[in-house]
């Protein structure tokens, strides 16, 4: 009577009275398979397609039937970038089995594990996954064994109410931290285990120390969108708009509400773009020219001379589409 073979790994089951004198050899072949079932192997992939064989489709009696797919733990590497993700087919499609797989391919390549026309599992680069294949034939499905993982207990000391888990600074090390105090945060210092900090110590650690990184709260701080009343005066720095010799000068209030300019040649003065009030102190130099205005709703005040050394205040006001220029000679 001929030998039969187990469904998944093809372990040979010799018939009664078969292989007289050769049982030792066949048994050793079977033990090689069993040895792989509890072992790990690193496999080098050479292309974007790879077949992971669990067992031969038609094993031969009295011969070795070992395959890479008999290892339960596998680490896949390559000798260089494959040029794309790797599609790995588990065969035969009737083998119902599982694997612990690490994707250690280069160039951030993924591994797509398939067995039939059913669902596949994509193993991201640098990740470890437990997968199992249902061996369903042509429509076989590959499952992620860690998807929707349920953890009922964690193998460390029970946490206090509000406690947290922290990495212990080494692979596989997890530590517990007692309940945080009111206003405390967990802070790492880059050398020792994270600690709980609060107040000035916490602010310094996260770069918001009062007085050096951020200003202290001041109830008298003015806000652009909050009405307030000034109880003290203030001074300003006069913005120097330079010498105007030609073209159109459009003052920008963002440079300051008090500015100065030199009339060094004939040019045009236009209103500000935005609603505001700006004072410009104009001084004529020896090349002073005629200042014309453009765009103002109304221009009034003193005449603008071109005499060297003459000074003027130009009061510009703009609101709700209207603009006014008032000129005051200072001599």
Instruction: Match 């500000």 to its residue by tokens.
Output: 272
Last residue in a domain, options 177, 210, 232: 232
When pLDDT is averaged across residues 104-125 and rounded to a whole number, the result is 97
Number of structural domains (the chain) is 3
Backbone φ and ψ of 258, nearest 5°: -125, 120
Do residue 225 and residue 257 come from a single domain?
no
Tell me the pLDDT tens digit for each residue of 25-66.
889 999 999 999 999 999 999 999 999 999 988 888 888 889
Instruction: Assess if residue 98 is contained within a domain.
Output: yes
**pLDDT at residue 243 greater than cutoff 70:** yes
Instruction: Assess if residue 17 is contained within a domain.
Output: yes
Do residue 188 and residue 280 come from a single domain?
no
> Measured between alpha carbons, how far is 279 from 97 in angstroms, rounded to an integer?
85
Do residue 194 and residue 305 come from a single domain?
no
Range of the domain at 315: 239-329
Do residue 228 and residue 243 come from a single domain?
no
Do residue 78 and residue 176 come from a single domain?
no
Instruction: Assess if residue 305 is contained within a domain.
Output: yes
> Measured between alpha carbons, how far is 1 from 271 in angstroms, rounded to an integer?
108
Instruction: Assess if residue 149 is contained within a domain.
Output: no
> Measured between alpha carbons, how far is 212 from 214 in angstroms, rounded to an integer?
6
Give Cα separations from 277 to 23, 236, 255, 258, 298 (angstroms): 106, 14, 12, 9, 15
Last residue in a domain, options 80, 110, 144: 144
> Measured between alpha carbons, how far is 94 from 115 in angstroms, rounded to an integer?
9
When pLDDT is averaged across residues 130-136 and rounded to a whole number, the result is 96
Backbone φ and ψ of 57, nearest 5°: -65, -40
Tell me the pLDDT tens digit for each residue of 139-197.
999 999 998 887 665 555 555 555 666 655 555 555 666 677 777 777 776 666 677 78
Tell me the pLDDT tens digit for each residue of 77-102.
999 999 999 999 999 999 999 999 99
The larger pLDDT score, comparing residue 287 to residue 193, is at: 287
Residue 163 confidence (pLDDT): 60
């Amino acid at each position: 009577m001929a030998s039969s073979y187990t469904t998944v790994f093809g372990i040979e089951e010799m018939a009664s009275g078969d292989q007289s004198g050769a049982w030792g050899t066949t048994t050793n072949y079977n033990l090689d398979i069993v040895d792989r079932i509890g072992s790990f192997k690193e496999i080098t992939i050479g292309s974007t397609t790879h077949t992971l064989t669990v067992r031969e489709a038609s094993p031969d009696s009295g011969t070795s039937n070992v395959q890479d797919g008999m290892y339960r733990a596998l680490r896949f590497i390559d000798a260089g970038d494959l040029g794309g993700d790797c599609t790995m087919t588990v065969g035969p499609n009737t083998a119902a089995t599982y694997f612990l797989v690490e994707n250690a391919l280069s160039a951030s390549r993924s591994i797509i594990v398939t067995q039939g026309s059913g669902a596949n599992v994509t193993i991201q680069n640098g990740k470890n996954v437990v997968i199992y294949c249902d061996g369903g034939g042509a429509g076989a499905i590959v499952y992620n064994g860690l998807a929707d993982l349920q953890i009922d207990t964690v193998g460390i000391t029970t946490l206090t109410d509000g406690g947290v888990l922290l990495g212990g600074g080494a692979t596989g090390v997890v530590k517990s931290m007692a309940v945080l105090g009111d206003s405390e945060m967990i802070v790492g210092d880059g050398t020792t285990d994270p600690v709980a900090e609060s107040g000035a110590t916490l602010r310094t650690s996260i770069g918001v120390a009062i007085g050096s990184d951020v200003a202290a709260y001041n109830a008298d701080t003015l806000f652009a969108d909050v009405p307030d009343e000034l109880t003290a005066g203030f001074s300003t720095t006069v913005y120097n708009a330079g010498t105007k010799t030609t073209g159109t000068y459009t003052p920008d209030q963002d440079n300051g509400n008090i500015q100065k300019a030199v009339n060094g040649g004939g040019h045009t003065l236009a209103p500000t773009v935005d609603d505001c009030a700006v004072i410009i102190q104009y001084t004529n130099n020896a090349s002073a020219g005629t200042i014309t205005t453009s765009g103002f709703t109304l221009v009034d005040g003193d005449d603008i001379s071109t005499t060297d050394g003459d000074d003027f205040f130009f009061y510009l006001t703009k609101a709700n589409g209207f603009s006014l220029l008032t000129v005051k000679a200072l001599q």
